[in-house]
Amino acid sequence: MDRRRFALTMGMSAAMSSMPLKVFGQMENLAQLTPGRTKAENALWTENPLSVQFVSSRRIVVADIKGPGEITMMHFAYAQSQVGNNGKPLSRDLLLRIYWDDESDPSVDCPFVDFFCNPDDTSKIVNTAFVNVDRGFNAYFPMFFRKLARVELVYDGPVSPGPDLERMMPCYSYVCHRTLEHFPKDTGYFHASWRQQSLLLGLEDYVALEATGKGKFVGWNITVRPLESNDCPVDENEKFYIDGETNPSVEFQGLEDSFGFSWGFPKSDNFFPLTGYFKFLNGSAAYRFFTEDAISFEQSLRVVIGFGVKEDWFRKKFSAPGTNTQFSSTVYWYQTEPHAKLPSMPPVNEREPTPGRGPAL
């Protein structure tokens, strides 16, 4: 092997070996002795008090933690009804809500499964740097708080509390957290919000986020699917309007490109640490996490999906009758408090994907 080829090979190896240090946490600091104590809050399992089991209530506080501190990991085991070849998936009738400090409105309000990049629980496996799913649901977003952290699961479906509901819901959970001496300077509170809308994309943009305050956008997962045909748009742009600007500072020209693909989404499922895709009913689901390229804002951030200024052909095509498209999205960001109130969660029957009339893709 000549010197140039050897140097190139070593450089590529070094770059690849350094990726987990950024993607999967600060492993280079793993040996550093840090202050504070790690604790875990358990819930849902039969060993825990009845007050934190679905046999007694539709609303379960799985963690109620005094600060200052940091939630480092959340785990939720599969429901009994999910296990087995014919296991029944969860649905959007279960919500994940998280409250920080003294706030009365949640900073995280999502259907449980969509929070874990698994819209409507349609994929058996999800494997990303921040959430994963395989016989359990795990989240690794760092979540700091000053006074209090309250993590809730809220079921608002038709089944009453009792053994039947217990079999349908996650059967065990733990929330790991670390005590801190003080809330770290220049640190934002974690937020996540879910939306869903059916629209004629040629006439209006899909709005995924409208945030006010100082913060940064760190990722999202979305679904897109045609409701009346087999024609699903992927040429729309993803626009990030920062601090009230009329022309977006960040605009990705192509839906699939913004999630790491090109010329449409791939034929097979892909689960990379920061980007990924899988089939969703007769459409597509995709996720993208922004680590080195998080989008910061000082006053506000508006995130929308729509066609670009020169895409008149697409705008005309997808404004015609019979071209309704349904989007859903979960957006993840950090910001100072107080935050703008999150959109009201739709009734449970309006959260499910609208049945499409087009053939499966």
The pLDDT assigned to 337 comes to 95
The pLDDT assigned to 27 comes to 66
Rounded mean pLDDT, 149-172: 97
Residue 13 has pLDDT above 60, yes or no: no
Residue 206 within a domain: yes
User: pLDDT confidence of 233, banded at 50, 70, 90?
Assistant: confident
> How far apart are the C-alpha atoms of 236 and 315, rounded to whole Å?
9
Structural contact between residues 199 and 182, judged by C-beta atoms closer than 8 angstroms: no
The pLDDT assigned to 352 comes to 94
Tell me how far the alpha carbon of residue 226 is from its chain's centroid: 22
Write down the H helix ranges in the chain.
3-23, 112-115, 163-168, 255-258, 312-317
User: pLDDT confidence of 6, banded at 50, 70, 90?
Assistant: very low
Residue 29 within a domain: no
The answer on 252 and 330 residing in a single domain is yes
The pLDDT assigned to 87 comes to 82
The two structure tokens encoding residue 120: 């409507």
Structural contact between residues 129 and 23, judged by C-beta atoms closer than 8 angstroms: yes
pLDDT digits (tens, 9 = 90+) for 201-229: 999 999 999 999 999 999 999 999 999 88
| Total-model pTM | 0.91
The pLDDT assigned to 229 comes to 83
> How far apart are the C-alpha atoms of 126 and 280, rounded to whole Å?
13
Count: domains in the chain: 2
Q: Is the dihedral of CA 177, 138, 221, 113 positive or negative?
A: negative
The answer on 113 and 205 residing in a single domain is no
The answer on 199 and 340 residing in a single domain is yes
CATH of the domain at 58: 2.60.120.1390
- Mean pLDDT of all residues belonging to the chain: 90
Residue 111 within a domain: yes
Which stretch of 8-17, 137-146, 179-188, 226-235 has the lowest confidence by average pLDDT?
8-17
Nearest to 144 by CA among 189, 82, 192, 203: 189
User: pLDDT confidence of 12, banded at 50, 70, 90?
Assistant: very low
The pLDDT assigned to 255 comes to 94
235 or 86, higher pLDDT = 235
For residue 168, the SS3 value is helix
The answer on 201 and 124 residing in a single domain is no
Eight-state DSSP code of residue 43: E
The two structure tokens encoding residue 167: 């079999």
The two structure tokens encoding residue 146: 């000053």
The answer on 337 and 228 residing in a single domain is yes
The answer on 322 and 236 residing in a single domain is yes
The answer on 151 and 257 residing in a single domain is no
Give Cα separations from 304 to 17, 31, 116, 242, 275 (angstroms). 35, 42, 21, 12, 19
Task: Give me the domain span that covers residue 248.
Answer: 195-346
Residue 357 within a domain: no
pLDDT digits (tens, 9 = 90+) for 88-124: 899 999 999 999 999 999 999 999 999 999 999 999 8
Residue 354 within a domain: no
Rounded mean pLDDT, 284-307: 97
